[in-house]
Structure 1
Amino acid sequence: MVKFEQIKGFIFDLDGVIANTSVYHAQAWHQLADELGVTWTDDLANQLKGVGRMDSLNLILKSGGKENDYTEDEKVKYATKKNDNYLNLLKGLTDDDILAGMKEFIQDLDAHHYLISLASSSKNSPKVLEALDLAKYFNERVDPDTLTHGKPDPEIYRRGAEILNLKPEECIGLEDAVSGVKSINGAHETSVGIGDPKILNEADINFTDTSQVTLANIKKAMD
């Protein structure tokens, strides 16, 4: 692991790291799975964490043995329906929905002049950051439409460093999903896993919840 003093930037996932919008994603996907006749399970919900829209739909269809039942146009229609439902659920989102300690952590990074970028596979991330009143702290945001591969491929986190004009070893990535941690590690950045350390056991640093994520705790873990 690199030294804390080498770190110049932080790259964030959004859902489950900054705000609990992952709950709304799961709710919208659950409703679509029911409509498609696919059994919703906790394992399926975990597989979708940090995964893009079309990839998530394909995982649901594969889970139900229905991966060959729909045309691409039909899949786009269902993915759009899910997204419309998700946006509906997001109405009323405020900074009260920011996960414990994360607003203070982001403000602390800003105060200490760290660069910050967003590496979310969600195309709705700009709207969410605005609703949470956090957009002003993010120097850059990776546009999911410019990516060839989704998480766990490292592309999104490599891009998250590039848009900050930083080397991978100068960056820390924060994730709550296995696919995201793999993506950070594949990009050769320091990974912070937020959640069950038994599940996120590939992360360089583990915190069980967001309230533990502070500069001081990260420094301590890297020393």
Structure 2
Amino acid sequence: MIKGFIFDLDGVITDTAELHYEAWKKLSDEMGWHFDRELNEKLRGISRMDSIKVIMDHNHVSLADDVIVELATKKNDIYVNSLESMTPDDYLPGAKELLTHLRQEGFLVALGSASKNAIKVLQQLKAMHYFDVIGDGNSVAKSKPAPDIFLYASEKLKLQPSNCVVFEDAEKGIDAAIAGGFHSVGIGPEERVGHAELRFNTMKEATYFEVRSFFSDFF
């Protein structure tokens, strides 16, 4: 039986992707590195440290570990400052409605995000009350596609993975859900999240009724 829902944050609950892009772009420009939207897509769903390594590999750059940490921290400072502009109007269409409906139906709900700034984002959205458990980049050592963040969330919810549905917009996020034995809902294009059990182009389409209808054998 499905008793819990686990949501990624960026690209599912809200879209901070543009803020991340602008922060990475600013850092890359300062470093003289190439960075564009195509490369930015490869950062979807992965941690800050993994992201900077992807950018460095693309630019054939090698740096000492302490310098990498310093640059990743600088990018995060740029990003966190930009979060101050977020408001409760910045939910993706359909996300707030789904969270509200799940609460009304009595389901357990967790966040499963690679972001270390997830709580700040939820506070800006005034969304903390929707979640029983917050799993973020500070919760586990291994980021997606390892299933650790979702396993952390389900354990804190006191549910088995098979009792939970994961909502993800990243290929690596769906990989993580599958690896952990979770039901999966992909948000985005076929080529990115088509390997999820159920896929919607947008969160607006991902209503409680649509999800319950698809997984009807598990409710």
Give the TM-score range, shorter chain.
Answer: over 0.9
Aligned to 1:65: 60
Using the size of structure 1 for normalisation, the TM-score is 0.93
Q: Which runs of 4+ in 1 moved over 3 A?
A: none
Given the alignment of the two structures, is residue 101 of structure 1 paired with residue 94 of structure 2, yes or no? yes
The one-letter code sitting in structure 1 at the alignment partner of 2:52 is: L
Amino-acid identity (%): 38
Question: Take 1:221 and 1:35, find their aligned partners in 2: how far apart are those partners?
Answer: 48
Structure 1 residue 31: Cα displacement: 1.6
Residue in 2 aligned with 1:190? 183
Match of 2:146 among 153, 160, 179: 153
Structure 2, unpaired ranges of 5+: none
Provide the C-alpha distance between the structure 2 equivalents of 1:98 and 1:169, rounded to a whole number of angstroms. 28
Q: Distance in 2 between matches of 1:146 and 1:14?
A: 15
Mapped partners of 2:172, 2:136: distance in 1: 18
DSSP 3-state at the match of 1:18: coil
Aligned to 1:114: 107
Find the counterpart in structure 2 of residue 79 from structure 1: 72
Question: What is the rounded CA distance, in whole Å, between the counterparts of 1:60 and 1:179 in structure 2?
Answer: 17
- Partner of 2:209, secondary structure, is helix
Contact between 1:37 and 1:64, CA under 8 Å: does it hold in 2? no
**1:55 matches 2:50:** yes
**Would you say 1:7 and 2:2 are equivalent positions?**
yes
1:35 aligns with 2:12: no
Aligned residues: 216
1:7, 1:170 within 8 Å by CA — same for their partners in 2? yes
**Counterpart check, 1:22 vs 2:22:** no
Q: SS at the partner of 2:138?
A: helix
CA-to-aligned-CA distance 1:130-178 (integer Å, 9 cap, x gap) = 1101101100111423412111111111111111000000000011110
Amino acid of the residue matched to residue 185 of structure 1? Answer: I
RMSD across aligned positions (CA): 1.2
1:123 aligns with 2:116: yes
Tell me which residue corresponds to 1:46.
41
Q: Distance in 2 between matches of 1:92 and 1:39?
A: 27
Alignment partner, residue 3 of structure 1: none
Aligned mates of 1:41, 1:220 — CA distance in 2: 39
Deviation per CA, 1:71-116, whole angstroms, max 9, x where unpaired? 1111111111101100121112111110001111101111111001
Give CA deviations for 1:44-65 in whole Å, capped at 9, x if unaligned: 2111111111111111101111
Distance in 1 between the 2:28 and 2:144 partners?
21
Matched position secondary structure for 1:145: coil
Once residues 111 and 39 of structure 1 are traced to their aligned partners in structure 2, the CA distance between those partners, rounded to angstroms, is 47
**AA partner of residue 29 (structure 1):** W
